[in-house]
Structure 1
Amino acid sequence: MKNTERSEHQRDSILDVARNMFAAKGFEATTTREINKELGIADGLLYYYFPHGKQEILDTIVHQGIAERVNDIQINFADAQSVGELELQLMDFFDRIWRLFSSDDNYESFIITIRERMLLSDDESSWLSVITEHIQNNIGHALEDVADIVDCDQTEVMTMAAIIMSIFQRTLYDVLLVKNQREVSMATRTMVQGEIHFLLNK
């Protein structure tokens, strides 16, 4: 392994261990010494990669989360031929969003951002809002291609997208944060689909 690759690997390892500890114990309760011990590295090595210590690690974890999540979210309803097909595609999109947020790294970053938001800059703590807006805009633009199917004019499409996003967001917060569950139950998924069905058949 080349030196640059080894260095990048070590940096990623520090971030992975810190993310896990911050999510499990909290930022304040986690010390750099504990991170070093878990990694089996000398105390000074962490500061070589992150000169500003824990705060810089926390900032990096949040920034990585923003970039990865926004880039991963794509949507297209152009091939939907009926309200029923659109409903199924929206549920498939909900499942993809769920998998994205409930995967290990993303879930931990989600928990850390909510729990440690007072320690983050406005830009860092707003990544959830950034993602919500990004998803909502994607849904709105995708719905523009099928506005005739749901009997919407172009001015109503973004309102419909906002309602759909609020359904998805409420479910994510309720199950992942409040109930602390990584799996979405059939009952919850059925409820989401029922609300989408009602909206599309208004």
Structure 2
Amino acid sequence: MDVARDLFAEKGYEATTTRELNKALGIADGLLYYYFPHGKQEILDTIVRQGLENRINEVAFDLSGVTTTAELVDQLLQLFRTVWDLFTREDNYQSFMITVRERMLLSDDESSWMNTVLAGIQTEIMQALRPHANLLPGSEADVPVVASIIMDILQRHLYEALLISNRRELSDATAAQMRKELQFMLFQH
């Protein structure tokens, strides 16, 4: 997987042949199909799946101990930093960029699975927020909306930095802007 991820990230999925994969792995032509019967498509799907699973499994949505809105903002920013660090680690960064670049080639199952995983992250954020509903704007019924906005803030800044600006570090200016956005949203009650 590492070899395929490196080649897909460097050359692109279409430009990487199974012959190149076999050569880079030092295996006989055709042996790749023994492990991946559906060839490169199965490898691409596996890279996407493993990349997302690895990033998600390392994030803890723990907001216990939070008693004030300011502490909630601090904890959410720490969560953002953790996610940011995961996305910018070389292997995860490559998987992310491959996913974005090759999104049209993903199987329907992989696209559906990715949507399910992203919805699951939002659900985890929502569940972590529920005990702190008194710190959130609106009523307890609005917790899903707040979780959605928090997810949107994270995704927008992460994608803006990685995809648009090609910047992997979380700058002080970006962190400060994220803090302002969270504070604006959370202090509205």
Paired letter, 2:34: Y
Counterpart residue number, 2:178: 192
Matched positions, count: 188
The 1:27–1:112 alpha-carbon spacing in structure 2 relative to 1, beyond 3 Å, is same
What is the CA–CA distance in structure 2 between the aligned matches of 1:126 and 1:24, rounded to whole Å?
A: 26
Instruction: Give the TM-score taking structure 2 as reference length.
Output: 0.89
What is the CA–CA distance in structure 2 between the aligned matches of 1:130 and 1:102, rounded to whole Å?
A: 22
For residue 127 of structure 1, report the CA deviation from its aligned partner. 4.5
Counterpart residue number, 1:11: none
**What SS is found at the alignment partner of 1:148?**
helix
Superposed, which structure 2 residues align to 1:39-54 within 5 Å? 39-54=25-40
Q: Does 1:133 align with 2:113?
A: no
The 1:56–1:128 alpha-carbon spacing in structure 2 relative to 1, beyond 3 Å, is closer
- Which residue of 97, 113, 116 maps to 2:102? 116
Paired letter, 1:166: D
Contact 1:74/1:138, CA 8 A, preserved across alignment: no
Contact 2:80/2:154, CA 8 A, preserved across alignment: yes
Paired letter, 1:110: F
Unmatched segments (≥5 aa) in structure 2? none
Q: Does 1:67 align with 2:48?
A: no
Paired letter, 1:35: L
Deviations 1:106-141 (A, max 9, x none): 222211122112211223124543333222111111
Superposed, which structure 2 residues align to 1:170-185 within 5 Å? 170-185=156-171
Paired letter, 1:119: L
Q: Does 1:100 align with 2:86?
A: yes
Q: Does 1:82 align with 2:68?
A: yes
CA-based RMSD: 1.8
Instruction: Give the TM-score taking structure 1 as reference length.
Output: 0.84
- Which residue of 28, 43, 47 maps to 1:57? 43
For residue 173 of structure 1, report the CA deviation from its aligned partner. 1.1
What is the CA–CA distance in structure 1 between the aligned matches of 2:137 and 2:159, rounded to whole Å?
A: 30
The 1:127–1:51 alpha-carbon spacing in structure 2 relative to 1, beyond 3 Å, is closer
Runs of 4+ in 1 over 4 A off after TM superposition: none
The 1:126–1:100 alpha-carbon spacing in structure 2 relative to 1, beyond 3 Å, is farther
**Higher mean C-alpha deviation, range 107-116 or range 64-73:** 64-73
Counterpart residue number, 1:160: 146
Unmatched segments (≥5 aa) in structure 1? 1-14
Counterpart residue number, 2:134: 148
The 1:127–1:105 alpha-carbon spacing in structure 2 relative to 1, beyond 3 Å, is farther
User: Equivalent pairs: percent with the same residue?
Assistant: 53
